[in-house]
Amino acid sequence: MALPVSDQLLERLMEEDVPYGDLTTKILGIGHKPGKIVFSTREPTVLCATEEAAGILKKFGAEIRLAKPSGEYLPEGVVFLEAEGTAAALHAGWRLALNLLEYVSGIATRTRRIVDIAKKINPDISIAPTRKSFPGTKKLAIKAVECAGARPHRLGLSESILIFKHHMAFLGGLESLCADIKRLRVEAPSMKLAIEVEDEAGALSAAKAGFDIIQVDKMASAGLIELIGKVRAINPTILIAAAGGVNEANTAEYAATGADILVLSSVFFGKTSDIGARIVPLP
């Protein structure tokens, strides 16, 4: 299970949303009154960011009474987070906590649907969401995909090697790159070498050169099946990643190609989870 994000991130989000306190609650004069906030699902949802939502409420002064963990897949109508505190504390944390829960659980729920579709066809396939989450939200996005049974494609540029055509343009093309692969292995002996290609010729050249992972971009599933067979004939240990345009609607056909990895960014964009939040006074 992914760990909660840092207190520093939560405090930054709080400062962004409530920089000078809650003016409405202040002028109504209700801030001191006791109350309870209750969050519940309004549709089947993979929970994510419950720990962060609870942390925000606590930092505003509320006490957590119930908090189900991120990663649980709940049906509609289940209460999963409750907190008690003053009306000031509850109203300060309400919308920020709800926004986090809805957006991040939306990513997790979309990811889980894709994981379930793909693994029903190929239990060994990996679902790898990309680095294309909205800037500033990476830690939450990574938590969401991991809660849903996927793993990030790349955490960033510092821990993995993936060569694109933009890199090759500075090297004189794919042929020059392939001729230099021995040096690359000396430079990064413990790392897998991955390359993105756009056609069969590029994939076969990369396979013959000895790349560890070949990422095939924007190839139709029918063509990918044929290509994978040819690559496997050269080296059956090469991992094949299908990338570009993979989404929930076509996951099944790409999972059936024989690809080892589905690389996609579609999970980061779409409908938020429908989560209810209500605040009520306590006696």
By percentage, how much of the chain surpasses pLDDT 70?
99
| Average pLDDT of the residues in 94-119 | 98
What confidence score (pLDDT) does residue 240 get?
98
Q: How far apart are CA 21 and CA 10, in angstroms?
A: 16
Q: How far apart are CA 266 and CA 245, in angstroms?
A: 8
Question: How far apart are the two ends of the chain, measured CA to CA in Å?
Answer: 38
Residue with tokens 């909205």: 134
Instruction: Using pLDDT thresholds of 50, 70 and 90, give the confidence band for residue 80.
Output: very high
Domains of the chain, by residue range, sit at 7-113+271-281, 121-267
Instruction: Using pLDDT thresholds of 50, 70 and 90, give the confidence band for residue 154.
Output: very high
Q: Is 257 left (phi over 0), alpha (psi -120 to 50) or beta?
A: alpha
Contacts of 280 (CB under 8 A, 6+ apart): 35, 36, 38
CATH H superfamily, domain 121-267: Aldolase class I (3.20.20.70)
DSSP 127: E
Burial code of 177-186, b = ≥16 C-beta within 10 A, e = fewer?
bbeeeeebee
pTM: 0.94
Q: Could you read off the pLDDT of 226-252 as tens digits, one per residue?
A: 999 999 999 999 999 999 999 999 999
Q: Could you read off the pLDDT of 15-58 as tens digits, one per residue?
A: 999 999 999 999 999 999 999 999 999 999 999 999 999 999 99
Instruction: Using pLDDT thresholds of 50, 70 and 90, give the confidence band for residue 136.
Output: confident
| Average pLDDT of the residues in 138-149 | 95
Contacts of 59 (CB under 8 A, 6+ apart): 7, 10, 11, 14, 93
Contacts of 114 (CB under 8 A, 6+ apart): 127, 150, 247, 248, 251, 262, 264, 266, 267
Q: Could you read off the pLDDT of 155-164 as tens digits, one per residue?
A: 889 999 999 9
What residues pair up with 240 in beta bridges, in sequence order? 214
Q: How far apart are CA 278 and CA 31, in angstroms?
A: 16
Q: How far apart are CA 220 and CA 241, in angstroms?
A: 13
Structure tokens at 132: 């294309």
What confidence score (pLDDT) does residue 5 get?
76
pLDDT at 1 over 60: no
Strand order through the sheet with 213-217: 126-129, 261-264, 239-243, 213-217, 193-197, 161-163
Give the type of residue at 236.
Answer: P
Instruction: Using pLDDT thresholds of 50, 70 and 90, give the confidence band for residue 3.
Output: low
| Average pLDDT of the residues in 162-175 | 95
pLDDT at 222 over 70: yes
Is 29 exposed, middle or buried (CB count within 10 Å of its CB: 0-12, 13-18, 19+)? Answer: exposed
> Which listed CATH number (3.90.1170.20, 3.40.190.10, 3.40.50.2000, 3.40.50.300) goes with 7-113+271-281?
3.90.1170.20
Residue with tokens 């299970």: 1
pLDDT at 2 over 70: no
What confidence score (pLDDT) does residue 247 get?
97
pLDDT at 199 over 80: yes
Q: How far apart are CA 146 and CA 220, in angstroms?
A: 27
* Residue 213: its H or E element: strand 213-217
Residue with tokens 């756009």: 198
What confidence score (pLDDT) does residue 86 get?
98
